[in-house]
Amino acid sequence: MKSEIIKRPRRLRTTDSLRKIVRETKISKDTLVYPFFVTEGFDIKEEISTMPGQYRWSIDRLYELFERLYESGVKTVLIFGVPDKKDEFGSGAWNENGIVQKALRYIKENYSDIYCITDVCMCEYTSHGHCGILNGEYVDNDKTLEILAKIALSHALAGADMVAPSDMMDGRIGAIRKVLDENGFINVPIMSYSVKYSSSFYGPFRDAAGSAPSFGDRKSYQMDFHNSGEAIVEAELDINEGADILMVKPGMAYLDVLRLIKDKFNKPVALYSVSGEYSMIKAGAKLGYIDEMAVVGESAVCMYRAGADILITYYAMEIAELIKTGKI
């Protein structure tokens, strides 16, 4: 019997080779960023209890991590510092001998081809755990800007290739850009955490970095997850102040926002698949409920399909292996 079906989408799904040829979403290990935590001390490789497989590293043991990075082909990192001392003003964040600054000098001396992005914030360094200077129990936006600019400059002086402010203060991109330019760092880009929501998905990170606020929450500066139009306002302000790359954070639950930002602005957009996303996959795999690597690969493709140009993820090395073996 002769069929009258002319259009058959299944034709392009008949073999693995053909499916790969016609894929709309193609991803590369070059767009993966691996975030890690560096801590004061010696001979430390301390597993983070809420993030199995992730560690706090002392500088003298970073070679173990970088051997794995080189093997995977991931060459871009996002550095978070875990200091041994904190104070009300987070002064360790801009100290030339702070943990991030020392780590940058070590990496640039020993692994010069690793591209280093640094998180610019105060929460890991303040005794109260908030992302800025306090006025009573309120984070003073404008007083915080000067400190954020000092942190960014200290990172650039230590060798940072890019800075990434995550504080969500109004005007911080302009303040940082001005200080960097005045000090000769006109070619150090800013990747702004432009659209950072106040999210429950950050829980494991706060354990990893010791950055949970000692009182209250961060809802007065991080975004309300009920809102998406506000994301356009935040991103546009950052672009106007000099942001080179925009970021949406968290990842999987915010793909609608990612697509909104990608469609609206002609800028590279990064997506941060955060600690809670990582830990949920780990927990589900441990219980035998899901195939860990299958879910990791599918999730990564979904994030790129939704508009991510850059993916920041604790699974960066595993995703690179999935790409290498042709599994995604």
Catalytic status, residue 249: yes
The rounded distance, in Å, linking the Cα atoms of 36 and 51 is: 12
Catalytic status, residue 327: no
The rounded distance, in Å, linking the Cα atoms of 89 and 140 is: 12
Q: 10: exposed, middle or buried (C-beta count within 10 Å: 0-12, 13-18, 19+)?
A: exposed
Of 29, 150, 249, 282, the active-site residue reads: 249
**Quick one: DSSP state of residue 140?**
-
Q: What angle do helix axes 255-264 and 229-241 make, rounded to 10 degrees?
A: 50
**Quick one: DSSP state of residue 5?**
-
Q: 85: exposed, middle or buried (C-beta count within 10 Å: 0-12, 13-18, 19+)?
A: exposed
Residue 223, SS3?
A: strand
Which phi and psi (to 5°) does residue 49 adopt? -60, -35
Which phi and psi (to 5°) does residue 255 adopt? -70, -30
Residue 86 contacts residue 126 (beta carbons within 8 Å) = yes
Of 29, 150, 196, 262, the active-site residue reads: 196
Which helix (H) or strand (E) covers residue 165, if one does? strand 162-165
- Ramachandran bin of 55, using left for φ above 0, alpha for ψ from -120 to 50, beta for the remaining angles: beta
Active-site positions read 196, 249
